[in-house]
Amino acid sequence: MSAQSSDAAAPAAMAAAQASSKSWVSDLILLAAIWGSSFLFMRIGTVEFGALPTAGVRVAIAAAFLLPIVWLRGLLPVLRKNWKRIFFIGLLNSGIPFACFAFALLSISTGLSAILNATVPMFGALVAWVWLKDKPNASRLLGLLIGFAGVALLAWDKATFKPDASGVAPGWAVLACLLACLCYGISASYTKRFLSGLPPLVTAAGSQIGATLGLALPALWLWPARMPGGAAWLALLAVGVLCTGLAYIVFFRLIANAGPQRALSVTFLVPVFAVLYGVLFLGESVTPWMLLCAGVIVCGTALSTGLLRLGRGNK
């Protein structure tokens, strides 16, 4: 190749790289906006459906949305071959966490639950350390300590276990959110150990089927005596199709274009949108204490996952 042709190709390559960068940044913001709205939709749905029916309907809608895509792409044989582990991860990664967050949203704000959800990467790092022996360096260990300190400070204001007007004690709601985040952390390590190499779409669809099967009986048992209204049904349709089905597709595209580490940073943006939606549509308030604790949690999570490093020697 001549020098002239190389010079001509350089601007084209630079333009392509810039376009790719803009593409994954757009996907990052889009995904944060979608997942941030899931707390709003679940709050609307769970008031009329209850926690377990809300989670059950959500995963059922997501499964109905994703399964035809798997079939059209000829991936059903892969799903049948690995269904046991995929269904199990669905209960751990979707069924239990969605039920926990639906329960929590009966008592605490969407913004607070979203801030607690930002600890997922931190729990993932902790579980990987204990289970996969992925020992964190000093910087990441400091991040774990800072992150959990932020959670403790944030939860201190909600430490009461006396039921409020909703019938749910805020303390239990906070613990439910943290249990959900722990489940997400365990799921990440389980997926890395047992489901690596499977098409992400298969894991996504199969996990929603597994969660649906796991939640079906409890959801039917606790189904509300009074049929929920149209707004509640539309909210669960939105959280099932938009925040679960379509969000998975955007998330996997983000991983492919930007890498898993950059994709992980979406958890830092989700609370921004969740708080905004809560203020605009639910009239929720945001206190300076919540914002301060959110900053501590984000810094701790960034350190614990390696997105932020202290010193040149930490890798």
Is 49 a member of any domain? yes
Is 27 a member of any domain? no
Q: 26: which 2 tokens?
A: 């757009």
* Blockwise average pLDDT, block size 10, the chain, 315 residues: 52 50 80 93 95 97 95 96 94 95 92 88 84 83 87 73 71 92 88 85 93 97 95 96 89 75 75 90 88 87 77 53
Is 32 a member of any domain? no
Is 138 a member of any domain? yes
Predicted local distance difference test score (pLDDT) of residue 159: 59
Range of the domain at 131: 37-304
Predicted local distance difference test score (pLDDT) of residue 219: 97
Question: Half-sphere exposure (CA, 13 Å, Cβ side) for 136?
Answer: 27
Is 16 a member of any domain? no
Q: How far apart (Å, rounded) are the C-alpha atoms in residues 224 and 139?
A: 48
Domains in the chain, number? 1
Predicted local distance difference test score (pLDDT) of residue 258: 75
Is 164 a member of any domain? yes
Is 73 a member of any domain? yes
Predicted local distance difference test score (pLDDT) of residue 15: 47
Predicted local distance difference test score (pLDDT) of residue 118: 84
Query: pTM score, two decimals?
Result: 0.84
Is 30 a member of any domain? no
